[in-house]
């Protein structure tokens, strides 16, 4: 039996409201199918299922607000027998909600690190608590000093943590928070953590964009207006390819070590009109052609602004790209989105004097910056990444 849980969709998410089920008990599902919708600070997110199987039981119903890690439904995986006829109601559980074995279900993600460390002792006494209960407390942001242990020798058990989480949740009023305020809070939490934990280093370089802009102009002339490619598209592709040369920038810093990611999923920062931003992932950006990337970007921006993102898009990004050139910004000094280890910033492509081979000319120039985590890489590798990016942009026809 597999458990389908309230996912963690960012460094900040603690809970979500189940809005809608797209399946019912007995329905067959395939890994990657969208089976429910959850409302978060980032809008309505379509949640994908992580396994093949048959929906066994729905445990959380539309309108209910539950913490990250709550089991939303159980799924019978292929080869498993149906447990019991459906009309036979299971015994009333002791707690209203059941929690997933998060570590088994989710990849290690940002939500696993609460903003504040859980105290080891309370009132000077050492707490009796198992490592697994402590981990659960951290995941559910339960303050251990408020938990009464019911285990052997008053040790705190997982059940105690679950009870405390539920009480904490019930105590938290479901005050109608303006979505903008929620988003601001979410960004505040993630960025404060970034600046507190990540020793950033910054590099910037000027890239001559003549070749790319010339090539793009001639490509776009051949295309109808609906198929035009924006200059940001070759920038995303070149970034993704340059990561192939410097893979240490594509990954996560978790458990005090760099965890490289093989797939390149570029998180693209998209600002929202009501304020705030989201950086959903363009999956496998390195393997997409420029027209495919343009289509993916169009789809992603439209759905982000329409509040229709998928769960994998919020959790999969392995690096972030941010473009602020439309507003005339020359250089971006980025803040890394944890647990990622790098952010690439693009400014405005501006005509500038450019000296080359003893001649002075006017070229479209792009200031490209890299903010990187010094725990994961050093400036030397960062510099190699920027140079690789530059080289790719000199041969746009190969992108």
Partner 1 sequence: MKEELIRETIFRVLRPITPEADFDELAPDENMQEVLDIDSFDVLNFFIQLYEELGVEIPEEDYGEIITLNDLIGYLAIRIE
Structure token pair of residue 218: 């001639």
- Binder to partner 1 among 83, 86, 257, 298 (CB under 8 A)? 298
Question: Is 61 a residue that touches partner 1 (CB under 8 A)?
Answer: no
Contact stretch for partner 1 (CB under 8 A) within 142-150, 195-203, 221-229, 313-321: 221-229
Question: Is 105 a residue that touches partner 1 (CB under 8 A)?
Answer: no
Nearer to partner 1, 281 or 297 (CB): 297
Question: Is 273 a residue that touches partner 1 (CB under 8 A)?
Answer: yes
Task: Pick the closest to residue 384 from 374, 397, 370 (CA basis).
Answer: 370
Q: Which conformational region is residue 101 in: left (phi greater than 0), alpha (psi within -120 to 50 degrees), or beta?
A: beta
Nearest distance in Å: CB 367, partner 1: 17
Quick note: the x/- pattern for partner 1 over 109-148, rule CB under 8 A, is ----------------------------------------
Structure token pair of residue 304: 């982000």
Question: Per CB under 8 A, which of residues 222..251 are in contact with partner 1?
Answer: 224-226, 228, 230-232
Non-local CB neighbours of 173 within 8 Å, separated by 6+ positions: none
Nearer to partner 1, 11 or 285 (CB): 285
Backbone angles phi, psi at 45, to 5 degrees: -115, 135
Q: How many residues would you count in the chain?
A: 399
Question: Is 380 a residue that touches partner 1 (CB under 8 A)?
Answer: no
Question: Is 221 a residue that touches partner 1 (CB under 8 A)?
Answer: yes
Question: Is 209 a residue that touches partner 1 (CB under 8 A)?
Answer: no
Nearest distance in Å: CB 355, partner 1: 26
DSSP 9-24: -STT--EEEEEEES--
Nearer to partner 1, 89 or 273 (CB): 273
Instruction: Please give the Cα distance from 335 to 372 (Å, whole number).
Output: 9
Structure token pair of residue 208: 């001559």
Judge contact between 180 and 276, C-beta under 8 A.
yes
What is the SS3 assignment for 321?
A: strand
Question: Per CB under 8 A, which of residues 323..362 are in contact with partner 1?
Answer: 326
**From the DSSP assignment, how many helices (H) and strands (E) are in the chain?**
9, 21
Contact stretch for partner 1 (CB under 8 A) within 17-25, 49-57, 220-228, 243-251: 220-228
Angle at 274 between CA 269 and CA 280, to 5 degrees: 25
Q: Print burial letters for 159-177: b (CB count within 10 Å at least 16), e (below 16).
A: ebbbbbbbebbeeeeeeee
Nearest distance in Å: CB 306, partner 1: 10
Contact stretch for partner 1 (CB under 8 A) within 79-87, 141-149, 270-278, 381-389: 270-278
Hey, what's the torsion of the CAs at 200, 206, 210, 212, to 10 degrees? -10
What is the SS3 assignment for 181?
A: helix
* Number of amino acids touching partner 1 (CB under 8 A): 17
Question: Is 220 a residue that touches partner 1 (CB under 8 A)?
Answer: yes
Nearest distance in Å: CB 274, partner 1: 8
HSE-up of residue 33 (Cα within 13 Å, Cβ side) = 16
Nearest distance in Å: CB 231, partner 1: 8
Nearer to partner 1, 167 or 277 (CB): 277
Question: Is 301 a residue that touches partner 1 (CB under 8 A)?
Answer: yes
Contact stretch for partner 1 (CB under 8 A) within 45-53, 92-100, 166-174, 269-277: 269-277
Angle at 160 between CA 154 and CA 165, to 5 degrees: 145
Nearer to partner 1, 224 or 357 (CB): 224
Q: Which residues here bind partner 1, judged by CB under 8 A?
A: 217, 220-221, 224-226, 228, 230-232, 271, 273-274, 297-298, 301, 326
């Amino acid at each position: 039996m597999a458990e389908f849980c309230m996912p963690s969709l960012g460094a900040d998410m603690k809970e979500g409201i189940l809005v809608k089920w797209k399946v019912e008990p007995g329905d067959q599902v395939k890994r990657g199918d969208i089976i429910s919708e959850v409302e978060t600070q980032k809008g309505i997110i379509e949640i994908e299922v992580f396994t093949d199987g048959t929906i066994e039981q729905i445990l959380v119903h539309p309108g209910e607000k539950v913490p990250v890690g709550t089991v939303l439904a159980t799924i019978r995986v292929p080869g498993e027998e149906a447990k019991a006829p459906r009309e036979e109601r299971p015994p009333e559980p002791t707690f209203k909600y059941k929690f997933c074995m998060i570590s088994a279900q989710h990849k290690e993600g940002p939500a696993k690190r609460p903003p504040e460390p859980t105290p080891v002792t309370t009132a000077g006494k050492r707490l009796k608590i198992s490592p697994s209960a402590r981990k659960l407390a951290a995941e559910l942001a339960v303050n251990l000093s408020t938990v009464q242990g019911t285990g052997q020798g008053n040790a705190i058990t997982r059940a105690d943590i679950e009870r405390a989480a539920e009480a904490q949740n019930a105590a938290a009023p479901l005050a109608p928070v303006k979505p903008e305020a929620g988003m601001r809070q979410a960004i505040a939490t993630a960025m404060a953590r970034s600046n507190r934990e990540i020793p950033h280093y910054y590099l910037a370089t000027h890239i001559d964009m003549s070749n790319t802009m010339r090539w793009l102009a001639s490509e776009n002339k051949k295309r109808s207006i609906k198929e035009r490619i924006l200059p940001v598209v070759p920038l995303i592709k070149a970034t993704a390819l340059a990561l192939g040369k410097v893979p240490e920038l594509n990954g996560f810093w978790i458990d005090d070590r760099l965890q490289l990611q093989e797939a390149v999923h570029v998180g693209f920062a998209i600002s929202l009109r009501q304020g705030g931003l989201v950086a959903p992932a363009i999956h496998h950006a390195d393997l997409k052609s420029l027209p495919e990337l343009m289509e993916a970007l169009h789809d992603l921006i439209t759905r982000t602004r329409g509040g229709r993102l998928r769960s994998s898009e919020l959790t999969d990004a392995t690096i972030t790209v941010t473009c602020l050139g439309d507003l005339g910004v020359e250089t971006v000094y980025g803040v890394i989105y944890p647990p990622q280890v790098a952010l690439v910033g693009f400014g405005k492509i501006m005509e500038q004097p450019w000296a080359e081979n003893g001649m002075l000319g006017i070229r479209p120039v792009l200031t490209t910056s890299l903010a990187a985590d010094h725990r994961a890489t050093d400036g030397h590798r960062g510099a190699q990444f920027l140079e690789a990016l530059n080289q790719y942009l000199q041969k746009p026809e190969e992108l």
